[in-house]
Amino acid sequence: MKITMTGVENIPREGGALLAINHLSYVDYVMAGFPGERQGRLTRFMAKKEVFDHPVGGPVMRTFKHISVDRSAGLESMERAESALRAGEVVGIFPESTISQSFLIKDLKTGAVRIAARADVPLIPIVLWGTHRIFTKGRKVDLSRHQRIGIEVGEPMRPTGEDPVAETAELRSRMESMLERLILAEEDRPEGAWWLPQKYGGSAPTIEEAAAAYAEERRLRAQRKAAKRKAK
C-alpha cells in the first residue's frame, strides 16, 4: 500500500489526547493508529460491544486493551475513556458511530466533544480516505497491491463542553474540509466509481440514501430479534 500522512505532528508525544476519526471501513482501526505510532504513541480505540463478543475479534480487542462501548450503557464507556485520557493515554473514537456508506462525513454524536471536555484533553480530528476500497460494508475484501490510503491529522480542538452541539458541528465542518482535500488529492477518480461519493462524480449513495438504508437495516434487525424472542 501507499500510505500518505499529513499533520502527524498534531498528535502530542505525551499526555492524553482524544482522536476523532471518520469511519469508512472495517480496517479503520488499523490505519487510524499509524499517525500516533509515528509520534511514539499507541491508541486505545472505542468499539461497539459486539466486536468484543466476537470469538476471534474479542480476544484481540481485549489483549490490546481497547474500550468496549455498550450502547445501552454509554455512560460507563465514556467514563472508561475519560479515565484513560486522564492517565495520559491516546484514545480513538468514531463519532459517526457506524460506517458511512456514502463515504462522506455523517452526522456526529456529541460524545467526542463531551469526553474531551470532561477529561480536559485536546480533541484531534483524523480523516481517512481509501480504506473502504480494502474492506467496507457490503463489499468483498480487496487485498490487491498498490492500494492508496490518505490520512490527514487536523489541528487540535479544545472543547469546553458548554455547547456540545455547536462544538460537534465545528468538528464535523473540519472533518468535511479534510475529507475533501484527501479526495481531491486522489488523481484517479473514475466517473461512476462505487467508492467515490456522488458529489465527486462517483456512484456511492448520498448521505440521505445511506441513512434510509441504515434505518431499514436496523428495522429488519429488530424484527429478527423480536421473532427470535417470540420463538423462545
51-81 pLDDT per residue, tens:
888 888 888 888 888 998 887 666 888 999 9
Q: Is 198 inside a domain boundary?
A: no
Q: Is 156 inside a domain boundary?
A: yes
Q: Is 92 inside a domain boundary?
A: yes
Q: Is 142 inside a domain boundary?
A: yes
State the Cα–Cα distance between residues 115 and 94, nearest whole angstrom.
Answer: 13
Q: Where are the beta strands (DSSP E) in 64-133?
A: 67-69, 90-93, 123-129
Domain count of the chain? 1
* Mean pLDDT over the full length of the chain: 94
Domain span holding position 179: 2-190
Burial zone of 192 (CB within 10 Å; 0-12 exposed, 13-18 middle, 19+ buried):
exposed
Mean pLDDT of the 10-23 span = 98
Q: What's the CATH code of the domain at 120?
A: 3.40.1130.10
Q: Is 205 inside a domain boundary?
A: no
> Is the confidence at residue 185, as pLDDT, over 70?
yes
State the Cα–Cα distance between residues 172 and 113, nearest whole angstrom.
Answer: 11
Dihedral (CA of 48, 53, 54, 60) sign: positive
126 and 36 Cβ atoms separated by less than 8 Å: no
pLDDT band at 196 (very low <50, low <70, confident <90, very high): very high
Q: Is 117 inside a domain boundary?
A: yes
Output the pLDDT for position 74: 67
Q: Is 206 inside a domain boundary?
A: no
Q: Is 221 inside a domain boundary?
A: no
